[in-house]
Amino acid sequence: MTPRFTLLPLTLLALPALAQSPITLTQATFPASAATVERYQDAALPAGLGAPTTGANQSWDYRGLLPSGSAYNLLNLSVPASPAFAGAQWTRANTSTIGAFSYVLTTYFNLAATGRMALGRSITRQPFSIASRTGGANDSIVVNRQNAPYGGASGIADFPLPLTAGSRSQQSFRIGVTGTLTIAGASLNRAPFRLVQRYTYVDSVAGWGTLRIPVAGRAAGSDPLPVLLVRSRTIRQDSVYLNGAPAPAALLAAFGLTQGGVSTFFLDHFWRMGSAQPLLELYYPNRQYATPAFADYSTESNVLTTTASTALAAGWQAWPNPLAAGQPLQLALPGAAAGQPVQLTLVDALGRTVLHQPLPAGSAMLPAAATAGLRPGLYALTVQQGAHRATSQLLLQ
């Protein structure tokens, strides 16, 4: 997405911090699955917008961001009957661009206690004419049909879990993609090549507190939502081998490549419990993390309905999410007042209340029988104690 810039000011309000303790993201509170749809809006950046203040108990307010272009969805897809990687739970279509060259791929994922795991990429055979670059009518690059694993059998955590204040993760892995190259003028006829990429992911929780973002149709934007600020850096090094030896520099230059070339990507992203996508992402051009180059924010329906302005919402959890048939729903409500009843409510996508049930304060379990008659789908799950409440999404499978 190409960022657009505006000179309109961004209101960054200094509000009192509402989060009393940092949230902790775990497998149980990270609802990633084949049914997950991530919903985003690119944002225009006012001049002078800097990086968020890091540290504990912050109040970040980005309601002044303006939408740029149309909102869009990123879909997870079901795993095919014969998956390329054992244990995969969903896939996602992607494109890999290296210099002036791109190919399409399918990434395989699953969710584990250690995070959202990227298992590897599956690639179909893809021929590309390069006659416009080399002058040979039949010159081509062919990417082979192949499966390229990420790291070992369990993959690599592209979003590490558990995650809370003080968390830091650094992981490295390498992948190799093979194909053939034909350039008549260089006496190459289906010469085997191998593109080797080494990745390093560095993710650190740089702060925690509450975040407010724009919400379409609501001038007040979102409520203050408890979040973790994760500061990330991705380092990628590209190397190309031809006939088993490093490819000539002149040949690489024709495709916008250098041997051992390094690309680095810098990102701040804000995460909340009960969602598999960030509330806000800020992308930076360099390691200083000073001025974002562009941004996007979540347009999930529960951005508006999630209330986190009371003690009840601090650190609450409901898991597993998605909830499969026959599973009880576990709840932890560390912010609930002792000795006072708590009500649990489920509302379906049509706004109908389909479950309303009292629960003991503190921690509780909703038995599987309570949801056995409900249809699969997305529900709004609300817990309420007196005038205080907290709401998030619950996916029933």
Q: What is the pLDDT of residue 183?
A: 95
Tell me if 270 is assigned to some domain: yes
Tell me if 1 is assigned to some domain: no
Claim to verify: residue 210 and residue 289 sit in the same structural domain: yes
Q: What is the pLDDT of residue 330?
A: 83
Claim to verify: residue 237 and residue 315 sit in the same structural domain: no
Cα angle: 164, vertex 170, 171; to 5 degrees? 125
CATH of the domain at 325: 2.60.40.3080
Domain boundary residue, one of 270, 300, 330: 300
Burial of 34 (0-12, 13-18, 19+ CB in 10 A): middle
Claim to verify: residue 296 and residue 316 sit in the same structural domain: no
Claim to verify: residue 284 and residue 354 sit in the same structural domain: no
Claim to verify: residue 79 and residue 155 sit in the same structural domain: yes
As averages over each run of 10 residues, the pLDDT of the chain (397 residues) reads 31 35 89 90 87 95 92 91 94 90 94 96 95 93 96 92 96 96 95 96 97 90 92 97 95 90 96 94 95 94 57 69 83 75 81 81 76 84 77 79
Tell me if 58 is assigned to some domain: no
Tell me if 54 is assigned to some domain: no
Claim to verify: residue 272 and residue 174 sit in the same structural domain: yes
Domain around 364:
310-396
Claim to verify: residue 235 and residue 195 sit in the same structural domain: yes
Tell me if 305 is assigned to some domain: no
Claim to verify: residue 145 and residue 271 sit in the same structural domain: yes
Claim to verify: residue 235 and residue 350 sit in the same structural domain: no
What is the Cα–Cα distance from 237 to 338, expressed in whole angstroms? Answer: 54
Tell me if 56 is assigned to some domain: no
Tell me if 27 is assigned to some domain: no
Q: What is the pLDDT of residue 393?
A: 76
Residue reference for tokens 């040949």: 251
Claim to verify: residue 113 and residue 248 sit in the same structural domain: yes
| Total of domains in the chain | 2
Claim to verify: residue 264 and residue 349 sit in the same structural domain: no
DSSP 64-133: T-EE-S--EEEE-BPPPSS-SSTT--EEEEEEEEETTEEEEEEEEEEEETTEEEEEEEEE--EEEE-HHH
| Nearest C-alpha neighbor of 138 from the set 87, 181, 95, 173 | 181
Q: What is the pLDDT of residue 337?
A: 74
Residue reference for tokens 């509780």: 364
Q: What is the pLDDT of residue 201?
A: 96
Token duo for residue 191: 């010469």
What is the Cα–Cα distance from 293 to 344, expressed in whole angstroms? Answer: 42
Domain boundary residue, one of 300, 334, 369: 300
Claim to verify: residue 163 and residue 259 sit in the same structural domain: yes
pTM for this prediction = 0.73
Domain boundary residue, one of 300, 318, 336: 300
Burial of 303 (0-12, 13-18, 19+ CB in 10 A): buried
Tell me if 95 is assigned to some domain: yes
| Nearest C-alpha neighbor of 250 from the set 262, 238, 240 | 240
